[in-house]
Amino acid sequence: MSLNKIQMLLLAGANNVNRDTAIFHQWERGEITTAKCLKMFRQNNRQNDSVDISQEDFEKWLNSLGYIRR
């Protein structure tokens, strides 16, 4: 899946943005795995598993937003 397609899955609204940001920070700090981050992202943006997002593409997308796991 292209990085732009992941971007298109985002729901609008301050609550969704704040929740996604918190999830991404947890991932960046190593508190959750990429799989868990992706699962939480899907739940927050009301996406089911039928939307194919690989963990590798998801990590690239997070990196493109400035979230770098150390």
CA atoms within 13 A on the CB side of 51: 18
- Given a contact cutoff of 8 angstroms between Cβ atoms, the answer to whether 61 and 24 are in contact is no
Total domains present in the chain: 1
Instruction: Confirm whether 41 is domain-assigned.
Output: yes
The whole domain housing 52 covers: 3-64
Residue 70 inside a domain? The answer is: no
3-state secondary structure 41-62: HHHHCCCCCCCCCCHHHHHHHH
51 assigned to some structural domain: yes
Look at 55 and 5; give whichever has higher pLDDT: 55
* Residue-wise pLDDT tens digits, 22-68: 999 999 999 999 999 999 999 999 887 778 899 999 999 999 999 99
Q: What is the pLDDT of residue 44?
A: 92
- Kindly indicate the confidence band of residue 1, based on its pLDDT and cuts at 50, 70 and 90: low
pLDDT of residue 4: 74
d(CA 51, CA 47): 7
